[in-house]
Structure 1
Amino acid sequence: MAARLSQPIKEKALTEQAAFFRLMSLASELCGTYGRDPTNPARGDCAWGVDPLCTALELKQSLAEVSGARGVRQARRAAGLVTPGSASPAESLLAMAMSLPASLGGVPFPAFQHNKALSWPQDINGLTKHRTMTPDFYWPQHSVALEYDGARHAEEDRVWEDHRRQQDYTTCGISLLCAQAEDLKSAGAIERLMRIVALQLATQEKAGFLQEVEAALLKPGSSAARATLISQLLPPNCSKTEGESQHS
Structure 2
Amino acid sequence: MQLALSGLTALRVWRAIRAGKLPGVRVGARVDLPAPDPAPSSRWTQKAFDLAFLGIDEPLDQKRSLHIAVPDAKLRIRTRGTVCSVFTRIPAGSFVDVGHGVAIACPELVFAEMGAAMSRPVQLLLGYELCGGYSRDDVDPREGEITYSVDPLTTPEAIDAYLEGCRHMPQIWQSREALPYLLGNAWSPIEAIIAQMIVLDPCESGYGLGEIELNRRVGAAKKGSRVPDILFAGTHVGLNYDGGVHFGLENVVAAAGTEGERAAIAAARAKIVGDKRRDRELLANGNAVLPVTSEDLYEPGGLDVVMGQVITLIERETGRNLSSQKKWLAAPGAIKWRQQLLWSLLPGERGARLLQEIAAKDKQALERYRRVVREANEWFRQVGSQRGPGIKAAVIRFDR
Do the structures match in fold with TM over 0.5?
yes
Secondary structure at 1:50 match in 2: coil
Pairwise CA RMSD: 2.4
Following TM superposition, by how much is the alpha carbon of 1:108 offset from its aligned partner in structure 2, in angstroms? 3.2
Q: Which residue of 1 aligns with 2:128?
A: 28
Q: Which residue of 1 aligns with 2:230?
A: 137
Alignment partner of 1:115 is 2:210: no
Rounded Cα–Cα distance in structure 2 between residues aligned with 1:59 and 1:117: 24
Alignment partner of 1:64 is 2:164: yes
Question: CA, structure 1 residues 231+139, in 2 after alignment: closer, same or farther (shift >3 Å)?
Answer: closer
Q: Is the 8 A contact 2:125 2:196 kept in 1?
A: no
Following TM superposition, by how much is the alpha carbon of 1:218 offset from its aligned partner in structure 2, in angstroms? 3.2
Question: CA, structure 1 residues 139+80, in 2 after alignment: closer, same or farther (shift >3 Å)?
Answer: closer
TM-score by length of 1: 0.77
Which of 129, 133, 150 is the aligned partner of 2:243? 150
Identity %: 25
Instruction: Give unpaired runs (5+ residues) of structure 2.
Output: 1-113, 250-264, 350-400
Which of 254, 274, 283 is the aligned partner of 1:161? 274
Q: Which residue of 1 aligns with 2:283?
A: 170
Rounded Cα–Cα distance in structure 1 between residues aligned with 2:138 and 2:210: 33
Question: CA, structure 1 residues 235+168, in 2 after alignment: closer, same or farther (shift >3 Å)?
Answer: same
Q: Which residue of 2 aligns with 1:45?
A: 145
Structure (1 or 2) with the larger CA radius of gyration: 2
Amino acid at match of 2:327: A
Q: Deviations over 1:212-241 (max 9, x none)?
A: 22112134643233233323422249xxxx
Range with bigger deviation, 211-220 or 165-174: 211-220
Which of 171, 189, 192 is the aligned partner of 2:305? 192
Q: Is the 8 A contact 1:187 1:224 kept in 2?
A: no
Question: CA, structure 1 residues 219+66, in 2 after alignment: closer, same or farther (shift >3 Å)?
Answer: farther
Question: CA, structure 1 residues 163+174, in 2 after alignment: closer, same or farther (shift >3 Å)?
Answer: same
Rounded Cα–Cα distance in structure 2 between residues aligned with 1:207 and 1:26: 32
TM-score by length of 2: 0.50
Which of 168, 188, 205 is the aligned partner of 1:105? 205
Secondary structure at 2:180 match in 1: helix
Q: Is the 8 A contact 2:148 2:187 kept in 1?
A: yes
Question: CA, structure 1 residues 88+225, in 2 after alignment: closer, same or farther (shift >3 Å)?
Answer: farther
Secondary structure at 2:117 match in 1: helix
Q: Deviations over 1:34-56 (max 9, x none)?
A: 11123321222211111111100
Amino acid at match of 1:217: L
Question: CA, structure 1 residues 78+44, in 2 after alignment: closer, same or farther (shift >3 Å)?
Answer: same
Secondary structure at 1:97 match in 2: helix
